[in-house]
């Protein structure tokens, strides 16, 4: 008989832990999404900065009037700059 009174108490504790865990997750989930969004924005900004740097370098290489630079190299540099944008 003693075990029958303890059994519902353990089930209630289990449901209590499940409820507390669910509530904690529901409270923390917006913060996790916000941090993920901020991290994504930083990655996009850094990728854009790198792409702009590569594009400007490629365009400046094309615009420089070097006699030893072939037309093929100019086209490749322009393509790299266009793809990186």
Q: Where is pLDDT greater, at 75 or 85?
A: 75
The answer to whether the CB of 58 falls within 8 A of the CB of 69 is no
Distances (CA, A) of 4 to 15, 66, 74: 18, 91, 84
- Tens-digit pLDDT profile for residues 14-27: 888 888 999 988 88
Q: Dihedral of the CA atoms 40, 41, 42, 46 (nearest 10)?
A: 100
- Dihedral sign computed on CA atoms, order 48, 51, 57, 60: negative
Q: pTM of this prediction?
A: 0.50
């Amino acid at each position: 008989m003693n075990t029958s009174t303890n059994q519902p108490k353990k089930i209630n504790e289990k449901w209590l832990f499940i409820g507390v865990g669910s509530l904690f997750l529901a409270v923390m989930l917006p913060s996790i999404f916000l941090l993920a969004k901020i991290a994504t924005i930083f990655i996009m900004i850094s990728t854009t900065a790198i792409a702009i740097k590569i594009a400007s370098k490629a365009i400046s290489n094309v615009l420089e009037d070097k006699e030893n630079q072939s037309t093929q190299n100019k086209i490749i540099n322009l393509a790299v700059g266009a793809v990186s944008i």
